[in-house]
Amino acid sequence: MMESDDQVSESSSSATDSDSETDDDLNICNHYIRAGHEGCDEYTELTTFHGMIRVFNSKNWPSLIFWCLVVTTCLVFYMIVCGLMISTYSKQHSFQRKNSEKNAEQKFDVEICSKYLYNCPNSSNFFLSCHNENSKCINASFINHLKLENIPKSFFLKINRNPRKWYFKGNPGIHHRLRLKHIQIHRLNLVNSNCYDSWDSVPWIITSPNESYSLEECEIERRRLYGEIRDIQECYQCYPPCVEDKIEVIYSRTFVNKNSSVISMRSQSYITVVHEIRKTGIVDILSNLGGASSLFMGCSCITLLEMFIFLFKLVFHSLLSKDVGNNELAPEEDKRLTSRRRAIIGKDFQSYRQTRELNGLLLRLLQNAPDHQNK
């Protein structure tokens, strides 16, 4: 009786051990993907890509399908986000303005011309002499203060090619003071794509007007020629001049015994440089890509490299198996792979058969136990 009990305990313990081994084998085996490829086990042990580990360690079809859908969805979102980041990096720009002051005086001409060249009134009571033959313009270059003499009764100022004019008249005993603030803007570009030098640079102009080119005159001329066109701003564009002059005039007069006209100018140059730079740099785009990979896939560059190497080995293994199938050693290789698949897939059946035999042995021993007690 004791011997039979020992046999039962030994058989039950062996059955328990075999069941535990079988359960361990079932826990680590995925017959749906791993069968026939040894690299899957190595990749599962090394990779930090948790989604792929879940796929390879799935125990049944529902778990496998679920994790495949999760990994595929995350991968699609990751590719979309990466594409948007790269597209934004290649298209978006920003402008950074830098102002620098240049301590240098700039010379420019002030042109003073007569308004009435041959129709001067009696100048007996005028503080300056008026000459009928004064038809020649006075062209002077001003840096500091300069006193002008022999100026006609009426004149206007024309600085550079500015179309605006300023008039003033002088009478005995009146001191006139004219102050000018001149600002000259140079638009520096590699190519003059967004500014015009003159009317000759405008492609759609028919005849050049007499006035100097300016943005206001260009819009007036465009409205006069093509005012009935619907998309006038897109078809006929007006750009600001490459060199633009802005003048602020301050005029004052006082009664004095001795009259004199003085024009004083002071020049101070400013250079405005506009740099076009990208909104995001290489470091920013790499940081964004790394954040997206961590958010959607939970992997790093090393993990991606491991996945690409695994996929390369998988494709290479498939191609190599096809090439081997055409050689003379194909039957032996096929036989070896078939036996391996049978050993892996048939492991569950063998464990089940052993467990069933042990259960039958235990049942027979339990049935024979009362007979031994009666004897």
Instruction: Check residue 333 and give its pLDDT.
Output: 52
**Is 76 part of any domain?**
no
Instruction: For residues 313 and 261, give the distance between their C-alpha atoms in angstroms, rounded to a whole number.
Output: 93
Predicted pLDDT at 353: 67
Residue 159 lies in a domain: yes
pLDDT of 221 reads 84
CA distance 257 to 19: 127
Q: Which residues span the domain enclosing 172?
A: 99-189+242-278
Residue 39 located in a structural domain: no
Q: Are 58 and 36 in contact (CB under 8 A)?
A: no
Residue 120's pLDDT is 38
pTM of the full structure: 0.34
Task: Look at residue 260 and tell me if it is in a domain.
Answer: yes
Q: Has residue 341 been placed in a domain? A: no
**Pairwise CA distance, residues 28 & 25, whole Å:** 6
The answer to whether residue 131 is domain-embedded is: yes
- Check: CB of residue 77 under 8 Å from CB of residue 90: no
Q: Confirm if 307 and 47 have CB atoms less than 8 A apart.
A: yes
Query: Angle at CA 182, nearest 5°, toward 176 and 184?
Result: 165
In this structure, what token pair is assigned to residue 158? 């024309």
| Structural domain contains residue 334 | no
Burial of 212 (C-beta count, 10 Å sphere; 0-12/13-18/19+):
middle
Which residues are paired to 154 by β-bridges?
169
d(CA 309, CA 46): 12
Residue 356 tokens read as 């069933």
pLDDT profile of the chain (375 residues), mean per 10: 44 45 45 54 74 79 88 90 84 57 47 39 36 35 41 43 41 60 66 72 80 82 78 76 76 56 51 62 83 85 82 79 54 56 57 71 73 54
Residue 162 lies in a domain: yes
Check: CB of residue 179 under 8 Å from CB of residue 250: yes
pLDDT of residue 250: 74
Q: Per the structure, how many domains does the chain have? A: 1
